[in-house]
Chains A and B, each alone.
Chain A
Amino acid sequence: MIFDVLIPEIVLTVVALGLLLAAAWQKEGQSGSYLGYLGIVGLLGALVALWPAIGISGEVFDGMLVADELTMFFKALLIVVGILVFLMSIEFVEKNHIPAGEYYALLLFGIVGGMIMVASADLLAFYVGLELLAIASYALTGMLRNDHKSQEAVLKYFLNGALASAIILFGISLFYGLTGTTSIQGLADAFKVGVNGTDSLVMAALVFLMAGFGFKIAAVPFHLWAADTYEGAPTPITAFLSVVSKGAAFVVMMRIFFVGLESLTVNWSAAFAVLAVITMTVGNLAALWQKNIKRMLAYSSIAHAGYIMVGFAAATADGLTGMTYYILAYALTNMGLFAIIVAMSNAGLGEDIDGYKGLSRKNALYAWMMVVFFLSLIGIPPTGGFLGKFLLFKASIGANLVWLALAMAINSAISVGYYYGVVKTMFLNEEEEEEPQKLPTTANIGLVVWITGAMVLVLGILPSFFIELSSQVAKILP
């Protein structure tokens, strides 16, 4: 039973340790691309190893980890996202002389950390997973050792991340003091019977937990580190941070708030509603002024954290389904988008939006796919982002939060402004007379762009299978 559920994590850990050893014997100046492909093989193996665990549900390790629909869905998503990050990294790592073995090993460790997070049934198991993911992310953010921006990024990320971990831990310790347990199900049971403390202490514990998670998902007003970190980190790692770190934190929040703190729903759902509106509005307004595409997407990712929080504000099964579908669509869209940004950076075109001038004539595939991804981020059919937003919209109306649905609609309209700016730069360039130099599509990036582009469209046009999967996730509700 234990091994049925844990084989993917074991496979990834063994491969990561192997990569670390390979890195130790790596000669100076020798290509490390084969290590990246080795990592992809490991990830594919882990994806296959998920198979025996389908349909199994229950707890392992004395209730530390759990296997259920939520766990399976997000473990599979984490592994797929891992493969995409590996594919877009290979050329980037070569070009920027990043130590390959360490880079790929840390990525795998981070993915394992995320998988432990989504499978945790106990606050301590969650914390171990969180730290595994966070420490790997810190090291990966600083991998461009001679780039000042990367060093600034890692310092800000590390200090904020450490503070957030401390705040989360303090919240956990308060809940432990109140209930005498760190098990998430145990919390739920303890709150039904009544806890050993005053209401104000319960609220203090809740506030610490929410503030800590606020840092991790970069919700306003805990978002100040995000833009600098996303800008300075190596671009594939920016993609990793915006999807894996954020997504895994959201999944843990689903379990903690919807299951563990179900008795306090009235309190946290109202707080999340306010946070959601502030986060999406500040994120979208700040994104309007950005000249650097990574900074722009950092603020856009803050805004998306705001949209996802609408599911918490609704606090219903529909909200849970909506968040799950939204995270799926957002993850694939962001992966595709960042793959194109990596390709541009590999070609030496920089990260400023000005560098995207005339991209439609240099590489039509990239330009058109970027349009598809932007449509998905704005939430326009026929893309996955539209359906994710629609499900959350429906959930918030269903929970009588019409004002929240309205705020979402207004914010989507604001976001058109900055996405359209990039599209205009890519397609309209009358002043250039001669035919610009073509930008060839490389195999790895092309693969990522095709896979994610196709998936984003499938999620928008033929969504029934994935909606069914997402609604299965709501089975965790008591």
Chain B
Amino acid sequence: MTDGLYILIFLLGGMAFPIGSILVARLLSPSYPEPSKVSTYESGEVPFGEARVQFHLGYYAYALVFLIFDIEAIFLYPWAVIYKDLGLFGFVEMLIFILILVVGLVYALKKRVLEWM
């Protein structure tokens, strides 16, 4: 039962902290609104249009291909670290792995996934 109590205290403390800090900032900080201050923050760019826009469908296919090669990079790191211990077997194995991914890339290229229309 005491374990549950600890979790409850953590839960309440965790909720109280962000709420408290937002409240304190609200109360203490001076407020001088002007147009450039209240506009949406776009990493320094001037924002345009609405937030509810439709993304180009091609974006998803593009992102998917990107994701695959992202994961390939993650696999390459540990492989590179123990490359010497693996020897020829490890080299050939990684070659096959990359070859399989390249087949996917060639497919995407031929299907014009990477062309932005």
Q: Which A residues are within 8 Å of any B CB, using their own CB?
A: 13, 17, 20-21, 23-25
Which applies to chain B's interface (DSSP): helix, strand, loop or mixed? helix
Q: A20-B103, A21-B103, A21-B106 are in contact. List 12 more A-B contacts (CB 8 A).
A: A13-B100, A17-B100, A17-B103, A20-B104, A20-B107, A21-B107, A23-B107, A24-B106, A24-B109, A24-B110, A24-B111, A25-B110
- Output the nearest chain B residue to A24 by Cβ-Cβ distance: B110
Using Cβ atoms and an 8 Å threshold, which residues of chain B touch A23?
107
Using Cβ atoms and an 8 Å threshold, which residues of chain B touch A13?
100
Nearest CB on A from B72, distance (A): 16
User: In the bound complex, what is the Cα–Cα distance between A24 and B109 (angstroms)?
Assistant: 9
Which applies to chain A's interface (DSSP): helix, strand, loop or mixed? helix
B66-106, CB < 8 A from A? 100, 103-104, 106
Using Cβ atoms and an 8 Å threshold, which residues of chain A touch B107?
20-21, 23-24
Using Cβ atoms and an 8 Å threshold, which residues of chain A touch B110?
24-25
- Output the nearest chain B residue to A13 by Cβ-Cβ distance: B100
Q: List 16 A-B contacts (CB under 8 A).
A: A13-B100, A17-B100, A17-B103, A20-B103, A20-B104, A20-B107, A21-B103, A21-B106, A21-B107, A23-B107, A24-B106, A24-B107, A24-B109, A24-B110, A24-B111, A25-B110
> Using a Cβ–Cβ cut-off of 8 Å, how many residues does chain B contribute to the interface with A?
8
User: In the bound complex, what is the Cα–Cα distance between A25 and B110 (angstroms)?
Assistant: 7
Most buried by A among B103, B104, B107, B111: B107
- Output the nearest chain B residue to A102 by Cβ-Cβ distance: B107
Nearest CB on B from A108, distance (A): 13
User: In the bound complex, what is the Cα–Cα distance between A13 and B96 (angstroms)?
Assistant: 12
Nearest CB on A from B19, distance (A): 31
Nearest CB on A from B54, distance (A): 19
Using Cβ atoms and an 8 Å threshold, which residues of chain B touch A17?
100, 103
- Output the nearest chain B residue to A99 by Cβ-Cβ distance: B111
Interface pairs A-B: 9 shortest CB-CB: A24-B110, A24-B107, A17-B103, A20-B107, A21-B103, A20-B103, A24-B111, A24-B106, A25-B110
User: In the bound complex, what is the Cα–Cα distance between A114 and B111 (angstroms)?
Assistant: 28
User: In the bound complex, what is the Cα–Cα distance between A326 and B3 (angstroms)?
Assistant: 49
User: In the bound complex, what is the Cα–Cα distance between A91 and B70 (angstroms)?
Assistant: 39
User: In the bound complex, what is the Cα–Cα distance between A320 and B109 (angstroms)?
Assistant: 48
- Output the nearest chain A residue to B109 by Cβ-Cβ distance: A24
